[in-house]
Structure 1
C-alpha cells in the first residue's frame, strides 16, 4: 500500500476535521482566484478600450467622468460642446486624428453613439453582416448589442431618450440596421454606431423637444466629446493646456485617469487579497493542529508500521502527503468556486452592459495558486511529519 492510499485513508478516518480544513483552503484559494480573475480582466479591457486614445475633449466637469462616459461608456457625460469644437481641434497641427461622439439615446440599454466610421476603424471592427452606415438613420450593431437585442439586417428600431433603458421613445425617427459587427473584445461590442447626423435629426425633429416659440437665434448643433490621437509627444504637454484654456472645454487623458481609477480600486483589491491570505493562514494553522492531533492519537499505529518494516522516511512522507492531499484538493475546489463566482458576477451584471467577463479565463498570476496551496499543506504538515520521523518504536510500544 503506497503513501497516497495510506494518507487518503487517514484523512477519511477524521471526515469532519478533514472537511473543515479542506473548506478553509478552498475558501482562501477561491477568494484569490476571484480577485485575480476579475481584476486582471478589468485592467486588460480598460487598456484595450483606451488604446490609441491620447486625449478626450469634452465639457468642463470631472475628468474621470468624461473618460468613463466617452471611452468606456460606463457613466453619463459631463455635458455637450459646440459642433465647432471639432473643426477648431482638427486645425491644431499636433492632432493626428480625431473621432467625434454624440450621445444621448439608447436601445434596450445599449448606447446609440453618433460618430463616424473612424470609430469602427479605431477598434479594428469587421462586419459579420451588412455594411457600415452610409447615411443618416442607419446604424451598425456591436456583436453583444446585436445578440442581446436580436437585431437583424434591414430591421427598424427606435431609440429611447437617455443612456439607460426606459426613457421616452423617439418613435418619430426610426433607425435601420445596416450592419452587424464581429466581436472585437472591446467596448464597441456593446455599442450601436450611427452617423452624428442621425443623433441631430432625432432630436431636431422630436415634437416634444421643440420650443413653444421660435428662438431669435437658432442654437448650434452639439457634440458630446472628441477623441484625439497625438501627432507627436510634444502634444501631450501643449494640447491639453490649449484645450483647457478654451471656454467651456476640458481635456482629460485616459491613461492618467485610468491609472488614478485603478489606484483607487487597488486599495480595495489589496484588502481583499490580505483577507484571502489571512484565510489561508488560518487554514494552515487548522491543518497543523489537525495533523498534530492525529499524530498524537496514532502514535501506536505509526510505531506498528515501523515494526512492520516502514522506514522513518516513509512515515515522514505519509504525514506530508496528508497535508499535500488536503491542500491540493482544497485548491482545486477553490479554483472551481472562484471561477464560479466570476460566472455568477457575469450573469448578475449582464443587464448593466458594462462588464464583459469571461468566467473560465485564466489570469497569469493564477499559476502561483497551486504552488501556494501546496506550500500551505507542506508547511502545516512539516512539524508533525518531523515528529513522526523521530518516532521511538520501543518507547511508544512500551507505553501502557
Structure 2
C-alpha cells in the first residue's frame, strides 16, 4: 500500500472528526474569498464608473443616493430637475462636459438611460456594432445586455415602467436596437441608451407638450384678434374728426402709431409666450434626472459645488467623496467578517491538530509495526503531515466552490445594471487562499508528525 492510499485509509477511519475539520476550513476560506473578491471588484468598479465624472448635479436629497442612482445605477433617483438647468452648466467656463441623464424605465432589470452622445465620451466608450441612435425609440445596448438577453441589432424590446423589472410594460412604444457598445468593464456594459425625447415620449410628456403648445397659440391668436378689433373700433371712432385734406405728416404719424401698437402687441405676446413656455417646461415634465459634469480645471473643485448648492434648487455631489464614504462604511463590516473568518480558520487548524494528535495515540502500535516492516522515520513523519495537508486542502477547495456559489447568488440578487461580479471567474487571490489552507494543515500536523517520527519501536511494542 503506497503512502497516498495509507493516508486516505487513516482519514476514512475517523470520518466524523475529519469531516468537521474540512467543513470548518471550507467556511473560513469561503468567507475570506467572498469578502476579498467582492471588495476588490467593488472598489475597481467604483473607480471605473466614476473616473471621468467630477460632479453629479440632481434634485436635493441624499448625496449618496444621487451618486448611486446616476453613476452606479443601483438606487432610485432623488427626483428630477428642470431641463433648462442643463444649458447654463454647459456654458459655464468651469465645466468641460455636461451630460444629461433621464431615468425611469428598464428592460428586464437593465436600466434605460435617456441621454445624448456626450455620454459615450465621458465613459470613454464607443459603438462596436451598428450605429448610435438617430431618432426616437432607437437604442444602443451594452455588450452584457446583448449577451444575457440574447439580443442583436434590429430586435425590438419593450420597456417596463420604473426601475424594477416587474413594472408596468410600455407595449405601445417598442425600442429598436441599432447598436451594441464595446465591452468597457464598467456600468455601460449593462445599460440601454437612447435619446431624452424617447424617455419623454414613452411617458406621454411630448404629446402633452404639443397639446399645451396649441392652447398657447390659440390664446395668443385670440388676444391678437381682440386687440385688432379694439384698434379698428378706435380708428373708426376718431376717423370722423379727421379732415379729408389731412396732411401727409398726420398720416405718417397715424401709421407710426399703428406700427407702435403692433410692436407693443408683439412684445407683450413674446413675453406671454416666454412666461407660459417656462411654466410649461415644468408642467409638462420636461425634466431630467441628473447631470454628470467633468471639470475644465481643478479650480472648479472649490467653486462649482458651492455655487450650485447655494444659488440653485439643486444639489451637487462628488462621486469620489461619496464613494470613499460608502467604501469606508462597508469596510467596517468587511473587517468584522474578515476577523470572523480568521477565527474560523484558527478553530479549523486547532480541530485538525486535535484529530491528528488523538489519532496518533490510537495508532501508536500500527506505526511501530510499520517501523519493524521497514518504514523509515521520515515516512511516518510524511504520512501524518500529508493527513493534515489533505484535510485542509480539501477544505480549501470546497471553500472556494462555496465562495463562487455565494458570489453567483449575490450577483443574481443585485440589479442587472449593477452586475459587476463575475461569479465563475478564477481570481489570483484564490491561489493565496489555497496556500493559506496548506500552511494551516502543515502547522496543525507538525507536532503529531514529530511525535510519529520519534515513535519508539521497542517501547511501544513492549507496552502493547
TM-score (norm 2): 0.78
CA contact (8 A) 1:100 1:223 kept: yes
CA contact (8 A) 2:110 2:416 kept: no
**Distance in 2, Cα, partners of 1:67 & 1:103:** 13
Aligned length: 398
Name the structure 2 match of 1:132: 132
Q: 1:120 to 1:5 in 2, by over 3 A?
A: same
Tell which deviates more after alignment, 252-261 or 357-366. 357-366
Name the structure 2 match of 1:293: 358
Query: 5+ unaligned residues in a row in structure 2: which ranges?
Result: 217-275
CA contact (8 A) 2:82 2:281 kept: no
**Distance in 2, Cα, partners of 1:130 & 1:147:** 16
Superimposed CA distance per residue, residues 301-338 of structure 1 (whole angstroms, 9 cap, x where no aligned partner): 22223333434333222221211121112212222222
**Distance in 1, Cα, partners of 2:182 & 2:112:** 17
Superimposed CA distance per residue, residues 71-94 of structure 1 (whole angstroms, 9 cap, x where no aligned partner): 011111111122222222222222
1:361 deviates by 2.0
**Distance in 2, Cα, partners of 1:231 & 1:130:** 32
Name the structure 1 match of 2:333: 268
CA contact (8 A) 1:129 1:179 kept: yes
Identify which of 314, 319, 336 aligns with 2:401.
336
**Distance in 2, Cα, partners of 1:248 & 1:315:** 78
Query: 5+ unaligned residues in a row in structure 1: which ranges?
Result: none
Tell which deviates more after alignment, 252-261 or 35-44. 35-44
CA contact (8 A) 2:111 2:417 kept: no
Q: Would you say 1:358 and 2:359 are equivalent positions?
A: no
Q: 1:280 to 1:134 in 2, by over 3 A?
A: same
Name the structure 2 match of 1:55: 55
CA contact (8 A) 1:170 1:206 kept: no
Structure 1 or 2: larger helix share? Answer: 2
1:392 deviates by 2.8
**Distance in 1, Cα, partners of 2:185 & 2:118:** 18
CA contact (8 A) 2:191 2:417 kept: no
Tell which deviates more after alignment, 387-396 or 64-73. 387-396
CA contact (8 A) 1:37 1:361 kept: no
Name the structure 1 match of 2:444: 380
Identify which of 216, 219, 222 aligns with 2:281.
219
Superimposed CA distance per residue, residues 250-270 of structure 1 (whole angstroms, 9 cap, x where no aligned partner): 111111111111111122222
Name the structure 2 match of 1:81: 81
Name the structure 2 match of 1:6: 6
CA contact (8 A) 2:209 2:280 kept: no
Superimposed CA distance per residue, residues 222-269 of structure 1 (whole angstroms, 9 cap, x where no aligned partner): 221111112222222222222212221111111111111111112222
CA contact (8 A) 2:159 2:169 kept: yes
Tell which deviates more after alignment, 105-114 or 224-233. 105-114
SS in 1 for 2:418: coil
